């Protein structure tokens, strides 16, 4: 990644504290409640793979051809793109917290509609609701966590979002496997969809009591509330609270100056501001390349890939899927790497115990190779490409453009998700299955070159300093000189105030009596 020297521009004149901040458990409560949205994202993305093994056999859904199956699967990413675009201006207007509450409510409604579906159109409507909710959550959760987190743990906390997506995928397969034994064609698939309402309700209840992002509060002139939230996050550490307030204040003042010079819609201001435009381009390409790696062809068609290896039993297919995602989750930073061999052994033993082969497949020593390669592919993806586009997009943009830019970048993710999922089967027929993945591999090589030469390293910078990484050297130097003048003016003002305090005072009138 590109290394850039950033100018220290403490907006309040308060230098960055040298001691580590006194972080309270409160910030972890905020983050864990928010990333439940990531769990719902993963669960509702993953559960469709298990449910669609049984939905076509339901009496109310027959006949269900391939077009209907593709429509039900792809409707969610399509609507997620719409949800992510709505989320940007919506969060600027009503706040990050209320968008998360809205997403939780829509998740609950969507899960209920899917679980109670009596025909194909009703199931499609439920998937539309879930898609909009996923779009809202995928955009707003990283923004909320990023704006509420101290800089030295911000990356870890935003990475929790991707960890919870993976956990949602794992739980989706486990829940799918469990409910596949309860009259799956009539009842089981309904329980699979309906289970998503439980975490959605938990998140909704949590955010009734949790606060708004401190940066959003400050930008909307609710300064005292912003300070109260920061006080809870930093356990009353006044040095860090003052520093954070100063950084936010300086950022807000810069934004007001920029807005005065560039009036108009936020999107127009983004396009007129070179460093923000550059950040948006890089952030959008990161999200686009993530999907061009072909990851969601594996996510949506896990069951098909496993069955193409020759696995006959549907229950076995779901349980092997769970093992695959469990292994993927093991490479997350919070889980020790030494348990990966143990998980691999579990998957291997599950093959020995559960495998029941389709008669139409020729069972050879290479039959399980597609599944092994899929596990390696998911392990490599989850180690970096899974979380980093979300983490970096939550950091890249100034406060005034953050929600809009993250919304646009997230929409790019979902649009290419939709394109990949809709074209995979056709592309597999035109270019063969292995040819299709060679195309995805070529896109990933291009992404590697792009990331190495164009994406800056954000480690160690506050969320308000990251903006400078996209500025030209001349612009950063101009900011440095401007801040030096501002600090000199503040010092002169303080000295003048101190001089007046030390000067002797005399009464306005004199007592002339002797």
494 assigned to some structural domain: no
Instruction: Identify whether 484 is part of a domain.
Output: no
Alpha-carbon distances, residue 183 vs 179, 187, 192, 313, 403 (angstroms): 8, 5, 12, 15, 44
**Average pLDDT of every residue of the chain:** 80
Domain contains 274: yes
How far is 334 from 101, CA to CA, in rounded Å?
Answer: 27
441: number of Cβ within 10 Å: 11
**Is 450 inside any structural domain?**
yes
Pairwise CA distance, residues 35 & 163, whole Å: 9
Asked if 31 and 150 touch (Cβ cutoff 8 Å), the reply is: no
Burial 258-296 (b: 16+ CB within 10 A, else e): beeeeeeebeebbeebebbbbbbebbbbbbbbbbbbbbb
Look up the pTM and report it.
Answer: 0.73
| Among 394, 418, 416, 392, CA closest to 407 | 394
- For 349, other C-beta atoms within 10 Å of its C-beta total 11
CB-CB contact of 384 with 58 (8 Å): no
Q: What pLDDT does 472 receive? A: 82
How many Å apart are CA 500 and CA 490, to the nearest integer?
A: 15
Query: Three-state DSSP class for 245?
Result: helix
In a domain, 511, yes or no: no
Q: Identify whether the C-beta of residue 380 lies closer than 8 Å to the C-beta of residue 332.
A: no
The Cα–Cα gap between 398 and 375 comes to: 38
3: left (phi over 0), alpha (psi -120 to 50) or beta: beta
Structural domains in the chain (count): 1
In-domain check, residue 18: no
Range of the domain at 257: 26-239+248-474
User: Is 21 contained in some domain?
Assistant: no
40 within domain boundaries: yes
Q: Are 290 and 389 in contact (CB under 8 A)?
A: yes
Helix (H, G, I), strand (E, B) or coil at 504: coil
* 303 contacts 316 by C-beta, under 8 angstroms: no
Whole-angstrom distance, CA of residue 243 vs CA of residue 235: 14
Closest by CA position to 387, among listed 213, 216, 154, 196: 154
Tokens of 32: 């864990």
CA atoms 314, 315, 320, 326: torsion sign: positive
Bridge partners (DSSP) of residue 456 are 2
Helix (H) or strand (E) holding 80, with range, is helix 66-94
User: Would you state the pLDDT for residue 109?
Assistant: 97
Length of the chain: 514
Q: What would the pLDDT profile of 249-262 be if each residue is shown by its tens digit?
A: 877 877 776 666 65
The answer to whether the CB of 176 falls within 8 A of the CB of 50 is yes
**pLDDT for the residue 52:** 84
pLDDT tens per residue across all 514 residues of the chain: 655 555 554 445 556 777 788 888 999 999 999 999 999 998 998 888 788 888 888 888 888 887 788 788 888 888 988 998 888 888 889 999 999 999 999 999 999 999 999 999 999 999 999 999 999 998 899 889 988 988 778 878 888 888 898 889 888 888 988 898 899 889 999 999 999 999 999 999 999 999 999 989 998 889 999 999 999 999 888 888 888 888 888 778 777 766 666 556 888 889 988 999 999 999 999 999 999 998 877 766 665 566 555 565 665 666 666 665 555 555 544 444 344 444 444 444 444 434 444 444 455 566 667 777 777 887 788 777 878 898 888 889 887 888 889 889 989 998 998 888 778 777 877 888 778 889 999 999 999 999 999 998 887 777 777 888 888 888 777 777 777 777 777 777 777 777 777 766 655 555 555 4
- Give the Cβ contact number of residue 456 at 10 Å: 19
In whole angstroms, what is the distance from residue 31 CA to residue 145 CA? Answer: 6
What CATH number is associated with residue 425?
A: 1.20.1250.20
**What token pair was written down for 272?**
């007129």
Q: Would you list the DSSP string of 171-233?
A: HHHHHHHHHTTS-IIIIIHHHHHHTTHHHHHHHHHHHHHS---HHHHHHTT-HHHHHHHHHHH
pLDDT digits (tens, 9 = 90+) for 353-403: 344 444 444 555 666 677 777 778 877 887 778 788 988 888 898 878 888
């Amino acid at each position: 990644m590109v290394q850039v020297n950033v100018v220290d521009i403490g907006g309040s004149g308060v230098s960055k504290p040298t001691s580590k901040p006194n972080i309270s458990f409160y910030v972890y409560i905020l983050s864990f409640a928010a990333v439940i949205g990531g769990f719902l994202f993963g669960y509702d993305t993953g559960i469709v793979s298990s449910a669609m093994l049984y939905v076509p056999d339901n009496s109310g859904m027959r006949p269900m051809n391939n077009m209907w199956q593709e429509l039900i699967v792809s409707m969610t990413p399509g609507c997620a793109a719409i949800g992510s675009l709505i989320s940007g201006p919506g969060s600027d207007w009503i706040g990050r917290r209320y968008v998360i509450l809205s997403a939780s409510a829509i998740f609950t409604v969507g899960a209920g509609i899917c679980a109670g579906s009596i025909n194909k159109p009703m199931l499609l409507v439920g998937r539309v609701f879930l898609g909009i909710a996923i779009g809202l959550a995928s955009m707003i959760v990283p923004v909320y966590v990023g704006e509420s987190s101290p800089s030295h743990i911000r990356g870890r906390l935003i990475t929790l979002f991707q960890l919870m997506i993976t956990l949602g995928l794992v739980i989706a397969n486990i829940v799918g496997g469990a409910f596949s034994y309860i009259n799956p064609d009539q009842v089981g698939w309904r329980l699979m969809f309906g289970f998503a309402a439980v975490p959605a309700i938990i998140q909704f209840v949590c955010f009734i009591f949790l606060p708004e992002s401190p940066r959003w509060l400050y930008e909307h002139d609710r300064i005292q509330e912003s300070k109260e939230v920061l006080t809870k996050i930093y356990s009353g550490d006044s040095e860090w609270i003052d520093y954070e307030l100063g950084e936010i204040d300086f950022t807000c003042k810069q934004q007001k100056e920029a807005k005065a010079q560039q009036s108009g819609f936020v999107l127009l201001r983004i396009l007129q501001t070179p460093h923000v435009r550059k950040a948006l381009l890089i952030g959008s390409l990161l999200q686009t390349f993530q999907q061009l790696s072909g990851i969601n062809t594996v996510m949506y068609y896990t069951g098909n890939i496993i069955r193409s290896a020759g696995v006959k039993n549907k229950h076995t297919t779901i349980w092997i899927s769970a093992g695959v995602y469990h292994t993927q989750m093991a490479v997350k930073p919070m889980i020790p790497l030494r348990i990966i061999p143990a998980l691999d052994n579990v998957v291997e033993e599950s093959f020995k115990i559960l495998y029941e082969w389709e008669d139409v497949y020729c069972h050879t020593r290479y039959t399980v190779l597609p599944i092994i390669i899929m596990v390696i592919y998911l392990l490599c993806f989850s180690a970096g490409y899974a979380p980093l586009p979300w983490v970096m997009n939550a950091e890249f943009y100034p406060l005034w453009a953050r929600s809009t830019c993250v919304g646009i970048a997230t929409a790019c993710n979902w649009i290419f998700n939709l394109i990949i999922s809709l074209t995979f089967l056709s592309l597999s027929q035109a270019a063969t299955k292995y040819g299709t993945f060679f195309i995805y591999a070529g896109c990933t090589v291009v992404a590697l070159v792009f990331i190495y030469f164009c994406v800056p390293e954000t480690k160690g910078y506050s969320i308000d300093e990251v903006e400078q990484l996209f500025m030209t050297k001349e612009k950063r130097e101009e900011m440095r000189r401007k801040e030096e003048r501002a600090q000199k003016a503040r010092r002169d003002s303080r000295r003048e105030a101190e001089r007046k305090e030390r000067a002797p005072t005399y009464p306005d009138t004199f007592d002339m009596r002797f």
